[in-house]
Structure 1
Amino acid sequence: MEKNRIHKVGQIGIPVKEMGRAVHFYQNLLGLPLLFQTDRMAFFELGGLRLLLSLPETAEFANASSVVYFQVGDIQAMYAELIGKGVAFTGEPHMVNKMGQTETWMAFFRDSEGNTHALMSEMKVE
Structure 2
Amino acid sequence: MLKDFDSAAIVAVTDMARARHFYEHVLGLTLIQSDDMVMEFKTGKTGLVVYKSDFAGTNKANAVVWGVGDEIEDIVANLRARGVSFEHYEGMDLRGDIHIAGDFKMVWFKDPDGNILHLNNM
TM class by shorter-chain length? 0.7 to 0.9
Q: TM-score, normalised by structure 2?
A: 0.80
Higher relative contact order (CA 8 A, sep 6+): 2
User: For residue 47 of structure 2, what is the aligned residue in structure 1?
Assistant: 50
Matched to 2:79, the amino acid is L
User: For residue 67 of structure 2, what is the aligned residue in structure 1?
Assistant: 71
Structure 1, gaps ≥5 residues long: none
CA shift digits 1:49-76 (9 cap, x unpaired): 21100012xx5x5433751111213111
Q: Is residue 90 of structure 2 the alignment partner of residue 85 of structure 1? A: no
Q: Which has the larger radius of gyration?
A: 1
Q: Report if the CA contact (8 A) 1:36-1:44 is conserved.
A: yes
User: For residue 116 of structure 1, what is the aligned residue in structure 2?
Assistant: 116
Task: Note the aligned Cα RMSD (angstroms).
Answer: 1.9
Q: Percent identity?
A: 29
Structure 2 Cα separation of the partners of residues 88 and 79 of structure 1: 10
Q: How many residues align?
A: 111
CA shift digits 1:7-57 (9 cap, x unpaired): 35421110001011011111101111111111011101122221100012x
Structure 2, gaps ≥5 residues long: 89-96
Q: TM-score, normalised by structure 1?
A: 0.78
